[in-house]
Amino acid sequence: MEETLKVQWDGGFVFSSQTPSGFNFVMDSHPETGGQGKGPTPFEAMLASTAACSAIDVMIVLNKMKQEVESYHIEVSYERSAPEGTYPRPITGMVVHHVVKGPKVDPAAVEKAVKLSDEKYCSVIATHRTEVEVRSTWEIQ
């Protein structure tokens, strides 16, 4: 069954995403291109989704392994294939760096959790690794 996510224009370059799970969030363009600063750019939202997808997986695994995490964040570094001002500018490489803090966190547990997310569970990372067929259609109402 096909799933659908709706994005609604809110004026200017502001768009609200209405997710299948019932949550909404706002995206906008950079102010220098006419954006109003009301949310992340779609590109930034994609990068944040990559990090959050993996982070959720890692925390689920670490919780099951009884690891006491005090703090955790992810840094996503990426390279793009074209210089600024050239379009499109797809990502050609990405590093998802996990930083876990806790007095008794087992490095082997973190390594296993990250590996499971990276290779088995994270659908966003899996999507980045594939060539997805994208079709654009349109209609006028």
Whether 88 and 33 share a structural domain: no
Q: In terms of domains, do 23 and 60 share one?
A: no
Domain holding 138: CATH number?
3.30.300.20
pLDDT digits (tens, 9 = 90+) for 20-50: 999 999 999 999 989 999 999 999 999 999 9
What's the domain count of the chain? Answer: 2
Same domain for 24 and 93?
no
Task: Give the range of the structural domain holding residue 1, as residue numbers without chain letter.
Answer: 1-39
> pTM of the entire structure?
0.89
Amino acid at 78: Y
Q: What angle do CA 140, 13, 38 make, to 5 degrees?
A: 140
Q: What is the average pLDDT score of the chain?
A: 94
Whether residue 114 is found in the same domain as residue 51: yes
Angle of helix 107-116 relative to helix 42-64, nearest 10 degrees, comes to: 130
Same domain, 115 and 141: yes
Same domain, 33 and 52: no
Is the pLDDT reported for residue 82 higher than 90?
A: no
pLDDT tens profile 93-124 = 999 999 999 999 999 999 999 999 999 999 99
Residues 66 and 129 occupy one common structural domain: yes
- How far does the chain reach from its first CA to its final CA, in angstroms? 26
